[in-house]
Each structure stands twice: as structure tokens, then as C-alpha cells.
């Protein structure tokens, strides 16, 4: 059971790293697919939970790696989110200017 648990956590770690990579590439479709896979894996991990393994040096090290990668991924998520928000704001600003220009042209013709 410990080897299965370790393997599942390695899969979780891999998915977390991949999520970060696809956020950086701004590929949100693949990112969301990875989120779903990781959520499914999380359910399995909860069923396999082994407190003795988590208390062992190997378990602590693995969980620390997962926490660090998750933190990096969340940082990348916030960067991507802010970038998309900025792009949306710029888009709305241009739409507003186009509407004003269109109204001006329509009024003068």
C-alpha cells in the first residue's frame, strides 16, 4: 500500500508541475484538464491515506515537494490570471473608444 501511495503522490506531483507549465504557456484548456485529473487523483489519495507514511522521513519529504510545487503553480496561476484580467480590461477600453468613435461618426453623417 505504501508503494501505491507513493506512486499516486508522484503522479500528483507530476500533474502539479504540468499545470504550472501549461499556465505559463497560457494553454487553459489543458490546464483545466489537468486540474480535473488532479482532483480525481486527490480523491484516491484520501482513500489511501496512511498517517505512518506521512510521518516518515520519505513521506514528509514527498509532501514538502508537493507543497513547494503547488506554491509555484499557484504563483503562476496568479500571474496568468492577472495577465488575462489586464487583457480583458484593455479590450473593454478599446471597445468603449470604438463605440464613442462610431457614435461620433454616425452623428456627423
pLDDT per residue as tens digits for the range 35-48? 999 999 999 999 99
Per-residue confidence (pLDDT) for residue 101, from 0 to 100: 52
- Cell 500533474 belongs to 15
Per-residue confidence (pLDDT) for residue 106, from 0 to 100: 53
How many independent structural domains does the chain possess? 1
Band of residue 64 on the pLDDT scale cut at 50, 70, 90: very high
C-alpha cell at position 5: 501511495
Residue span of the structural domain in which 51 resides: 2-108
Is the Cβ–Cβ distance between 3 and 62 less than 8 Å?
no
Q: Can you give the pTM of this predicted structure?
A: 0.75
Per-residue confidence (pLDDT) for residue 2, from 0 to 100: 79
Q: How far is residue 15's CA from residue 35's CA, in Å, rounded to a whole number?
A: 8
Q: How far is residue 13's CA from residue 18's CA, in Å, rounded to a whole number?
A: 9
Residues sharing a CB contact under 8 Å with residue 13, sequence separation 6 or more, in sequence order: 62, 65, 66, 69
Task: Give yes or no for residue 89 having a pLDDT over 90.
Answer: no
CATH number at residue 86: 1.20.58
Amino acid at each position: 500500500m505504501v508503494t501505491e501511495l507513493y506512486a499516486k503522490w508522484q503522479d500528483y506531483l507530476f500533474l502539479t508541475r504540468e499545470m504550472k507549465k501549461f499556465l505559463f504557456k497560457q494553454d487553459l484548456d489543458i490546464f483545466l484538464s489537468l486540474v480535473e485529473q488532479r482532483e480525481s487523483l486527490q480523491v484516491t489519495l484520501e482513500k489511501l491515506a496512511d498517517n505512518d507514511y506521512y510521518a516518515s522521513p520519505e513521506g514528509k519529504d514527498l509532501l514538502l515537494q508537493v507543497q513547494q510545487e503547488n506554491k509555484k503553480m499557484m504563483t503562476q496561476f496568479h500571474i496568468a490570471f492577472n495577465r488575462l484580467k489586464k487583457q480583458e480590461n484593455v479590450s473593454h477600453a478599446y471597445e468603449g473608444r470604438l463605440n464613442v468613435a462610431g457614435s461620433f461618426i454616425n452623428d456627423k453623417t
